[in-house]
Amino acid sequence: MDREETGAGLARPLERYRDYLRLLADLRSGPWLRSLLDPSDIAQQTLLTAHAKFDQFRGTTDAELAGWLRAILANHLAAALRKHAPRQEIGPAAIEAELAGSSARLQDLADASQSDPGAALSRAEDRLRLASALMQLPDDQRTALELRHMEGLSVAEVGRRMGRSVPAVTGLLYRGTKALRSLMAESP
């Protein structure tokens, strides 16, 4: 990461993280918060804060930047929870820990989606590519993959959450994984 990036040049490196942040916000928000606040808006707020406070970033790697962005995202999610659900006492540190876990599961999914593990890019770049690829999937396939692989639910539980049968969820997971591998293979 080039520490000399400023102004418009900074926007592009941060923009690479938009889908990643949206995916993490979507996973952490849950249906009730999503009905009040769009995860895209939370991701946008995170990027705006990061841009405004980039001089406070002390890291040098993409992994450190991703961690810093997760911390900002956690603060925005905690603020949204305080505003919309004041009785829930969940602080930014707890949310950040959850986001780090989701990010690790995203990396596991990225590793599993690589048809050629030897061709894998850096781990941080894989997470960004996977988040972008996930956002291109049909909603039902993306939801099934997120619930199964990122939240660690059983296929039966995914079916209950989605209101689908186990065979239907199995089909969504199969088609979603196949499409995800294709998208990951196509991306640079």
Q: Closest by alpha carbon to 106, among 60, 158, 70?
A: 70
Domains of the chain with CATH codes: 1-125 (no CATH), 137-188 (1.10.10.10)
pLDDT in tens, 97-106: 676 666 666 6
Residues 159/171, Cβ–Cβ less than 8 Å: no
- CA 7 from centre of chain: 25
Looking at per-residue confidence, does 34 or 144 come out higher? 144
57's tokens: 């970033």
Q: What is the pLDDT of residue 117?
A: 46
Identify residue 156 by its one-letter amino acid code: A
Q: What is the pLDDT of residue 138?
A: 93
Cα within 13 Å of Cα(32), Cβ side: 5
Residues 100/73, Cβ–Cβ less than 8 Å: no
Q: What is the pLDDT of residue 184?
A: 81
31's tokens: 């249906």
Distance CA 9, CA 44 (A): 17
pLDDT in tens, 131-178: 888 888 998 998 898 888 877 888 999 999 899 999 999 999 999 989
pLDDT in tens, 56-115: 888 888 878 888 998 898 888 888 877 776 666 666 666 766 766 666 666 666 655 554
Assign residue 33 a region (left: φ > 0; alpha: ψ between -120 and 50; beta: otherwise).
alpha
Give burial (CB, 10 Å; 0-12/13-18/19+) of 24: buried
